[in-house]
Structure 1
Amino acid sequence: MTDPTNERKIEHIRAIEQDPLTDRQGHWFDRIRLMHRALPELAFDEVDPSVEFLGKRLSFPLLISSMTGGDHELVRRINMNLALAAEQCQVAMAVGSQRVMFTHPEARASFELRQFAPTTVLIGNVGGVQLNYGFDLQRCQEAVDCVGADALYFHLNPLQEAVQPEGDTNFSNLAQQMGAVAAGLSVPVMLKEVGSGLSPADIELGLRQGIRHFDIAGTGGTSWSRIEHHRRHDGSDIGLRFQDWGLPTPLALQQAEPYLDRATLIASGGLRDGIDMAKSVILGASLCGMAAPLLQPAMESAEAVVDAIERLRREFVTAMFLLGTPDVAALFRNRTLIVQER
């Protein structure tokens, strides 16, 4: 008997492949203009883009954002290629939702990635709403142990669940439950949206529960509402109605700025190049997540993913050089580097 959670993973990938408009291409970062320096007063080779995250040194602040997982050869190949590339390039990687490994044990292999990435940052992933559907601290710890993760995402996707034909929509009293898991888990808990943005109120709730890491994951990139539209067969267009719902990533970062003395932010949602990464760091992000630009390379080979990552690194370093910033600390929250916002 096929497992619906497992089959859904493949349906998601096929929807992204077949409908280019699932990537909304909001280009919200294009509204931000940066201060070019004709005299940067440093050599290109002196630029140091490395950062520390979760106690590990990364070559530059890139996170391969959550994509997939499940019992399918394509899914296993994607995750293996991503993990091999993450290790070679020394960037962070987050896995897709691990719920499937509890309903389909054969899916565990797609998440057992520490063998391919022995030293870099790996992040596990569980749907926060699943705490209202039988998940507990023990299962969350099992998800962490399976990946060999340095942290665990609780992904928050109320729009996707509301649009999904079989969605789990009981989001009541989740903050307190996530806080209880955070207090007992062996690694930090991180809150993540999936493309509609975290609001200041969401960050406040997390902070009250002792959670300190937040992935903004705003609009502008992949629309899970539109993806779920392709899985509906009832004639409803609700997934299209809400395909651009939420907070654009730059706006969500700006709204989260008052919490930076207590919170670590990750920018994801609509980032497409190293320039977007530089703008995100200026707006307060410690790490920059991308998924869509790396999915197709991951279907090909680890080498193709490495090539894509190295292009991003070159773009990020070039932006730093042209801004006259020798290291990421000189970039972080440096609003003087922004000359115009539209």
Structure 2
Amino acid sequence: MATISERKEQHLTLAVALGDGQDGGPGWPDVHLVHHALPSGTPDGVDVSTRLLGRRLPIPLVIAGMTGGHPAAAELNARLARAAERTGVAMGVGSQRAALRDPSLAGTYAVARSNAPSTLLIGNVGAAQLLDQRTERALSAADIRRAVDMIGADALALHLNFIEESVQPEGQTNAEGLTAAIGALCQDLDVPVMVKETGGGVSGPVAATLASCGAAALDVGGRGGTSFRAIEAQRAQEHAHATKRGIGRALAGWGIPTPVSVAWCAGVLPVVATGGIRSGVEAAKAIALGATAVSVGRPLLECAMRGEDAVVEWIDTFEAALRAALFLSGCRTLADLRTAPRVVLGDTRHWLTQLGLTGGPGGGG
């Protein structure tokens, strides 16, 4: 089996190669903001700032935690970090487990803080690693503290990736006592904990459980963006692991679409919407459904492969499109979006209706 470092490199390669759509679309085309033909002011006058994890962000955007743990990741994280510092957006790093097991890899993550001294920087460890697994001991409280200190993190993302783990040839799927372990982490850590799904979405009841554990925010990580299920199914095929490949195929399409998860969890915890968001207009839709901010992964990774300026250009375009969406919806702030009229159609409407939801704050659906 591959080492953690080798696996991380494979993840980056396959994420770019496979693209979106491996588990079906996220549903953003089903969500429509209603055009306001008599707007006021200008798009530049729209306030798109938000507060997340105790910090003000001028743009409601987080660069998703994607990489670290292998030599090529250092330069990618440096480029993303410099772009975050220039634009004021937040940034996450990929799972830091590799560096906790092999300290020589710590620099591939620490480069983020050295290139983004004032950025809201979010560390990252897996929830499965809070527990003893079949071939690996649980991370200790000291290990978690090292992850935070490694990058000078302002917050820690605890990622839930049990779909991926179920398909991964090296997967770790023991979840016995997980809720208690999350509660203990939230209580003991001196930075806020954001619990993050990675493609399966989060339901309202799970959000309520995480809130009772002390989570400060929730990244819903819904179905429809980069599919780690598909990535691991491809790896299983390459490793001739027929059973895991079969699980991956059987789970195609599994999960809660991102817009549904956002609407279901809004009001329970501050929500970051991740999963298939590819423009500022889709971000506006997520915020209308109740999100506090959005997170974007693969498109920014592809930009980082071209250079820092490409990342900044993407973020600038994202902001301009977000401003235009608010302006054309008759809104002056992100909060206005949550009470603006909207229409939800298609499969997303069916999800919301059968779950007894109304399409987020402000009605519609």
> Please, what TM-score do these two structures have when normalized by structure 1?
0.94
Q: 1:4 corresponds to which residue?
A: 3
Q: 2:259 corresponds to which residue?
A: 250
Q: CA deviation at 1:240?
A: 2.6
Q: 1:238 corresponds to which residue?
A: 247
Q: Distance in 1 between matches of 2:64 and 2:20?
A: 19
Q: CA deviation at 1:241?
A: 2.4
Q: Distance in 1 between matches of 2:251 and 2:2?
A: 28
SS at match of 1:155: strand
The answer as to whether partners of 1:223 and 1:244 remain within 8 angstroms in 2 is no
Q: 1:269 corresponds to which residue?
A: 275
Q: 1:121 corresponds to which residue?
A: 120
Q: 1:98 corresponds to which residue?
A: 96
Q: 2:18 corresponds to which residue?
A: 19
1:313 aligns with 2:319: yes
Q: 1:295 corresponds to which residue?
A: 301
Number of residues of Structure 1 aligned to a counterpart in Structure 2: 335
Q: CA deviation at 1:201?
A: 2.4
Q: CA deviation at 1:220?
A: 0.6
1:138-153 matches, cutoff 5 A: 138-153=142-157
Q: CA deviation at 1:53?
A: 2.1
Q: Distance in 1 between matches of 2:19 and 2:335?
A: 36
Q: 2:84 corresponds to which residue?
A: 86
1:7-86 matches, cutoff 5 A: 7-20=6-19, 24=23, 26-72=25-71, 74-86=72-84
For residues 5-30 of structure 1, the C-alpha deviation after alignment (integer angstroms, 9 at most, x for no partner) is 01100111121233335655615110
Q: Distance in 2 between matches of 1:84 and 1:21?
A: 26
Q: Distance in 2 between matches of 1:30 and 1:255?
A: 18
Q: Distance in 1 between matches of 2:191 and 2:15?
A: 32
- AA in 2 matched with 1:116: N
Q: CA deviation at 1:300?
A: 1.8
Q: 1:130 corresponds to which residue?
A: 129
Q: Distance in 2 between matches of 1:167 and 1:86?
A: 32
Q: CA deviation at 1:156?
A: 0.3
1:136-175 matches, cutoff 5 A: 136-175=140-179
Q: CA deviation at 1:341?
A: 2.9
Q: Distance in 1 between matches of 2:118 and 2:16?
A: 31
Q: Distance in 1 between matches of 2:26 and 2:191?
A: 34
Residues 62-71 or 228-237, more deviating:
228-237
Q: Distance in 2 between matches of 1:94 and 1:21?
A: 20
- C-alpha RMSD over aligned residues: 1.6
Q: 2:333 corresponds to which residue?
A: 327
Cα pair distance change 1:162/1:27, threshold 3 Å: closer
Q: Distance in 2 between matches of 1:58 and 1:10?
A: 31
Q: Distance in 2 between matches of 1:23 and 1:63?
A: 23
Q: Distance in 2 between matches of 1:252 and 1:155?
A: 16
For residues 160-210 of structure 1, the C-alpha deviation after alignment (integer angstroms, 9 at most, x for no partner) is 001000101101111111111111111011111001101122212211212
Residues 314-323 or 195-204, more deviating:
195-204
- AA in 1 matched with 2:262: L
Q: Distance in 2 between matches of 1:16 and 1:22?
A: 11
The answer as to whether partners of 1:101 and 1:108 remain within 8 angstroms in 2 is yes
Cα pair distance change 1:263/1:167, threshold 3 Å: same
Q: Distance in 2 between matches of 1:19 and 1:67?
A: 15
Q: Distance in 2 between matches of 1:231 and 1:27?
A: 23
- AA in 1 matched with 2:36: R
For residues 237-256 of structure 1, the C-alpha deviation after alignment (integer angstroms, 9 at most, x for no partner) is 32132132100001111222
- AA in 2 matched with 1:180: A
The answer as to whether partners of 2:11 and 2:231 remain within 8 angstroms in 1 is yes
The answer as to whether partners of 2:20 and 2:276 remain within 8 angstroms in 1 is no
> Please, what TM-score do these two structures have when normalized by structure 2?
0.88
Q: Identity, % of aligned pairs?
A: 38
Q: CA deviation at 1:317?
A: 0.7
Runs of 5+ unmatched residues, structure 1: none
Q: CA deviation at 1:56?
A: 2.4
- AA in 1 matched with 2:304: A
Q: 2:200 corresponds to which residue?
A: 196
